Structure 1
Amino acid sequence: MFKTIVLSLCLLIGISANAQSKKGINFQSIDLEAAKQIAKKENKLIFIDIYTTWCGPCKLMQKNTFTDPKVGELFNKNFVNLAIDAEKEGVALAKEFKIVNFPSFLFLDATGKLVQYDFGYYDAEQFSTVGSSVLSKVSSNMAPKTLDMVKGKMVGDKIADFSAKDHLGKTFSSAKEKEKLILVFIRGQWCPYCNKYIESLQNLAPELKAKNARLVIISPEKPEFIEKTLSKTKTGYTVLYDEGYKIAEAFDVLYTPDSKTLAAYTSKVEGFATSRSDNSGRLPVSATYILDENKVISWRYFNPDYKERASAEDILKQL
């Protein structure tokens, strides 16, 4: 009987200790690429503790700060957390971010872009403040743009190289294109105005070739939905999946519809909530851009009214 009681107490103590250990930051045993996928799916940031085994402050952070329940609650809710040894699996990462101080802390977005860098020892209260400041910074930078706030890149602006995959998984890279590029932004296969417009551009192909130009369609929808665009329009042009809206953001054509419009699209358009890389409801203005061989904007058609599009005649005149 006494032995049973002792065993039960040991079990309870073990469970209690285990529960206590889980109150702090939950560091996951995954690589950065896996962390990006989770962060994207769960709409989180990425926190990386870069340490060494000989670093005293690193050990104090692990013992006193990362185990704090309030720190754990904040970081587990908002970050995918990694702890990486700078002298083992973190050698390349330390080199990439030029890390010479330990511990170092990287706060990244879901694409791996640096949001904030910090280093040194922090107690639990101080480190909670650091984490909260990162979240505030990202929140202010990610405030959604309304339609009237979006102005689009202007003629004369040089566009940084971008890449995206088509419905077959083939990568398109603007850096490799030596022709003029005509970029047509569409809202998706569910938009009848987009489909009609793409159809109206089909006869341009021979003339575009003669003018050393290539037309590319940019869609925010996933490959399986792009297949529907191809089926509905019979287009022979390349249609790219703008995953994460990176191209739309680069051209400043990305906006969030008002709540009434968003509710209508979500309820009436089949697959609207699942067709894009997130459920934010963001859409591109249906703009058309011409880039010269140096990737500088030479002409644009930008109209917030999705019913209005650049004419085929105007596009040809500008080439």
Structure 2
Amino acid sequence: MFKTIIFSTFLFVGIFVSAQKEKGINFQDVNLEAAKKIAQKENKLIFIDLFTTWCGPCKLMKKNTFTDEKIGELFNKSFVNLAIDAEKDKDGLQLVKKYKIVNYPSFLFLDKNGELIQYDFGYYNAQQFSGVGMAVLDKAFSKNTVKTIDQVKGKMVGDKVADFSAKDHLGKTFTLSKEKEKIVLVFIRGQWCPYCNKYVESLQNISPELKAKNARLVIISPEKPEFIEKTIAKTKTDYTVLHDEDYKIAEMFDVLYTPEQKTLDFYNSRLKGDFTDSRSDHSGRLPVSATFIINENKEISWRHFNPDYKERASLENILNQL
């Protein structure tokens, strides 16, 4: 009887420990080449936690985020997960060199062939990192998410505009369907862009004419509210500036693109946090600096679309088309 109790106790403990291990992300003890084969066989993506032994946020991710049960469910279902030492592992050293990594922890999301889908870094709690994982999956399995600047064409004149909502830096919600006026929609790249700031500042000159023509000008920025405040401070604009969270509006208007790698490297090195931390993710995606006029029937009645961010819609043309 006593032996049976002891055996049952150890069995229970073993099951409990096993269950504990199953919670959170299951990092596989394989190299990158083996991970690719698994990903191809199981139709999964590859997630790499690139860490160092001295990195505090790396340890916090391991302790607090990667052990979360819901994170585990998401990542174990959709990714082949690898934890790689950036300084000691052969794959780690090669990845650091290939992607010029200087921040830890760094997170590489690759497709099943090992091609980069998204790069991210820094500490995230479980809820935040779940959002990162979902965004990667959306990007990887959506047909229209990754485009070059040559591939985006912008909505055309006559196109119907689906309803959308977004919040400004004060948390006030703008909803297109509730607007009775004509809408002049202006996309900007962010407060770090001097051409955007100069253009937004110049738009103030037509404010009286817009009111006379029953039109409202709305600026769409990919940046978070705290960075939009910088746009407002730099330009002294009175127009509504909306945060295009997760680039939903830019995608809807087909103005969202990913710059080439050398351009991203330049922005990351020169602008640092003003570029990497200002938007919904670290993908580097940007909107073309386009302008659209939406009539009362919620159709595009005029547009200015030029991939060159230095070329903007003239104030005269905007007013003449209203």
TM-score, with length taken from structure 2:
0.63
Identity %: 64
1:268 and 2:266 aligned: no
> Per-residue displacement from partner, 1:75-127 (whole Å, max 9, x unpaired)?
1748xxxxxxxxxxxxxxxxxxxxxxxxxxxxxx969x9xxxxxxxxxxxxxx
Q: Give the letter for the 2:289 counterpart.
A: S
Write out aligned runs for 1:1-319 (5 A): 12-21=10-19, 74-75=76-77, 77=79, 138-139=140-141, 141=143, 144-271=146-273, 272-319=275-322
Unmatched 5+ stretches in structure 2: 26-45, 48-72, 81-129
Unmatched 5+ stretches in structure 1: 28-42, 45-70, 79-108, 114-134
Distance in 1 (CA, whole Å) between partners of 2:5 and 2:20 is 23
1:168 and 1:223 in contact (8 A); partners too: yes
Distance in 2 (CA, whole Å) between partners of 1:173 and 1:292 is 15
Distance in 2 (CA, whole Å) between partners of 1:12 and 1:76 is 33
User: How many equivalent residue pairs?
Assistant: 224
TM-score, with length taken from structure 1:
0.63
> Per-residue displacement from partner, 1:31-78 (whole Å, max 9, x unpaired)?
xxxxxxxxxxxx99xxxxxxxxxxxxxxxxxxxxxxxxxx99731748
Number of the residue aligned with 1:105: none
Answer with 1 or 2: which has the greater Rg.
1
1:24 and 1:72 in contact (8 A); partners too: no
Q: Note the C-alpha offset of 1:317.
A: 0.6
2:168 and 2:241 in contact (8 A); partners too: yes
2:139 and 2:145 in contact (8 A); partners too: no
Q: Note the C-alpha offset of 1:220.
A: 0.2
1:23 and 1:73 in contact (8 A); partners too: no
1:291 and 1:299 in contact (8 A); partners too: yes
Q: Note the C-alpha offset of 1:11.
A: 5.5
Q: CA, structure 1 residues 306+74, in 2 after alignment: closer, same or farther (shift >3 Å)?
A: same
> Per-residue displacement from partner, 1:209-254 (whole Å, max 9, x unpaired)?
0000000000000000000000000000000000011110110000
Distance in 2 (CA, whole Å) between partners of 1:166 and 1:140 is 27
Q: CA, structure 1 residues 198+19, in 2 after alignment: closer, same or farther (shift >3 Å)?
A: same
Distance in 1 (CA, whole Å) between partners of 2:173 and 2:207 is 21
